[in-house]
Amino acid sequence: MFDVVTGGAGFIGSHLVDTLVAQGNEVLVIDSLCAGRRETIARHIDGCKVRFVQTDLLGDGWQEHIEGADRLFHLAADPDVRQSAINPDPTMQNNIMATYRVLEAMRLHKVPELVFTSTSTVYGDAKVIPTPEDYAPLLPISVYGASKLACEALISSYCYSFGMKAWIYRFANIVGDRSGHGVITDFIRKLKANPAELEILGDGKQVKSYLEVHECVAAMLFALRAREMVNIFNIGSEDWIDVRSIAEIVAEEMHLPEVKFRFTGGERGWVGDVPKMQLSIERIKSRRWKPELGSRESVRMATRDLLKS
């Protein structure tokens, strides 16, 4: 099996690469290293288990490298929800345009299968929680969520127009070792700078689902057994945790029992923040996969791993 992974030096991508290499697959990683780090996959590159092309998907010269691939995992994206409300252009370019260019390269080089990492934010402020894959209407409230939904539409159109197959995974909050953004890394960074006080965006009552990254990768590969033209799966845990509880876990793991919490106030932590999110994972559970960890356990494990790194 010849797999291509865009964004393969990033957080989820590097863990996926670890698993694909362990399975004995031929792996090509395409990453600009704008957000990813070469050292996350350096041992595979140095051991000739992975070919690495450092380039931007918005440029040219990478397309011929995917010739002969069996499957392309497209994880490269601009993941910053908050920044997309300040400067939308990088999100538009790195998500929508980059995905279009990937699809065109696949069409021209006859790569038959695409795996795309989408997001729970495509659902917006869902009225049904846990939210199933067939929930409608999809009304994202962030530019980031809108960009991912646009990518989903492009992928569907290419599958039906050009005979490709696709797996679209709508993620809950994925956490763990090598993560470079998100609430846990934000709290750790703030507490290292000021161990006496922690600023928490919003009122701390936002509740969301969290899943540890190794379980996420396992679910991604498990769901490849579905063989429709376009396969959409939610991937997350079966519960949720509030932001204040995450802060308490991080402070506990950093041995800071006296830290003071300071809330910025409001239901949303930032523009585009969804205050309540839990995905229904009944579709993937019906195929006999379910997570072993809940949100609280995933957050604690991720905190410990990040503090060790």
Known active-site residue 100: no
CA nearest neighbour of 272 among 99, 88, 136: 88
Decide if 247 contacts 269 (C-beta within 8 A).
Answer: no
CA angle 189, 190, 195 (to 5 degrees): 110
| Tokens coding 80 | 């910053």
d(CA 274, CA 124): 7
Q: Active site residue: 135, 144, 158, 210, which one?
A: 144
Sign of CA dihedral 217, 223, 227, 232: negative
CA angle 230, 64, 25 (to 5 degrees): 60
With tokens 């429709």, the residue in question is 228
CA distances from 308 to 10, 14, 127, 253, 281 (A): 18, 18, 39, 11, 31
CA distances from 94 to 90, 139, 150 (A): 6, 21, 12
| Tokens coding 244 | 């204040």
Residues forming the active site:
144
